[in-house]
Amino acid sequence: MSQHDLQQEAVASEEAEQQKFRVMSQRVGIRDPRSPEEKRKAYFRHHRLEFVNAWLQLWLTPVATLLSILVMGMALCLPITLWVLMDNVKSVAGFWDDGAQVTVYLKPTITDAQGAQVAQSLQSNPNVAGLRLISKEEGLQQLQEAMGVNRLGLEANPLPVAIRVEPASLDEQTLLQLQSQLSSWPEVDEVVWDQMWFQRLQSAVSFFDRMLLVFLAGLATLIVLVVLTATRLAIYHRSSETKVLRLFGASDAYIRRPFLYSGAWLGFWSGVIALVLASIASQWLAAPAATLLQTYLGADAFQGLTGGMAVQTLILSVGLAWLGAWMATAHYLSKTH
């Protein structure tokens, strides 16, 4: 054991002795002479010591600690990678206009001026967020560009005036209601939106959302169980120490504290490992995923892990590990009362 470890152990031992003295003093009626400020400083100093000591205690069994961190990190890696993929799909689907965009084709007899009046009337519809009028001439130009020819050899322009409508909501019921409203207008010949494609996209997003939750729930349970088992082993190896503290009247919080910090350390480093593995997996999947998104959804680029995702992952991993440690210590303390 290094000199630093010995110093930390000595400081922790001294703090434990002071706690024992305070407990015994309270039992025999001796009043703690320290001021509230001194008590507060001592309380936070003990937390700092236990925080560092918990990290040192983990490396007394380095193989078991590393295995626990790797197992938890690999368990978290899969849902994080799925989260990144789903975040890209949902970000594109949330602002995607083509599938949910409604195109209103007016009757062939409607002129551009009359089409402008229809578009002006549409602006007052609460289900319409925006619209764009496509005149007959503009529609013909778009058709020529799409076919790669300058002239189609037509004597007259057969294309109708069209209005491209951006719905206020991508909810399927709202889109169906808007389609029904527009179809009833006398100037309207046909209302088109790719309902089947939009429904498939929404169904796929909903399915993968649920699948992500199932994976996360199962692997979160695994993480809690891993930390619970590791904490129970740590309690077993330190049972003599905890029994002595219990005899001297140490509180449950005092006994539980080092094990909670050990669990938090395990959770933190497993979260770091998970982020590293998920980042590598995301980079490996970036090129084919970007091609897939570009082909089907028109996305420009694939976005990997964000800072917000990293922070949420660390909070989740620390929280799950802390929960596992708390459950193990709660079970032990309930038996020693």
The pLDDT of residue 268: 95
User: Pick the residue with more confidence: 318 or 337?
Assistant: 318
Structure tokens at 30: 């001796």
Average pLDDT over residues 186-203: 74
Q: How confident is the model at residue 30 (pLDDT cuts 50, 70, 90)?
A: very low
What does the alpha-carbon distance between residue 50 and residue 53 come to, in Å, rounded to a whole number? 5
User: Pick the residue with more confidence: 297 or 66?
Assistant: 66
Burial, 154: exposed, middle or buried (Cβ in 10 Å; 0-12, 13-18, 19+)? exposed
Lowest mean pLDDT, pick from 130-139, 211-220, 241-250? 241-250
Domain with CATH 3.30.70.3040 in the chain: 102-193
**What's the DSSP call for residue 300?**
S
Per-residue model confidence as pLDDT tens digits over 65-100:
899 999 999 989 988 988 888 887 777 665 454 446
The pLDDT of residue 165: 84
Per-residue model confidence as pLDDT tens digits over 114-138:
888 888 888 888 888 888 888 877 8
Average pLDDT over residues 319-330: 92
Pick the CATH number of 102-193 from 3.40.50.12640, 3.30.420.40, 3.40.605.10, 3.30.70.3040: 3.30.70.3040
* pLDDT greater than 50 at residue 208: yes
The pLDDT of residue 1: 54
pTM: 0.61
Q: Single out the residue of 209, 106, 219, 221 nearest to residue 165, CA to CA.
A: 106
Lowest mean pLDDT, pick from 32-41, 69-78, 147-156, 247-256? 147-156
* pLDDT greater than 80 at residue 311: yes
* pLDDT greater than 70 at residue 155: no
* pLDDT greater than 60 at residue 245: yes
* pLDDT greater than 80 at residue 34: no
Q: Collect all residues with Cβ–Cβ distance below 8 Å to 320 and sequence separation of at least 6.
A: 220, 223, 224, 227, 267
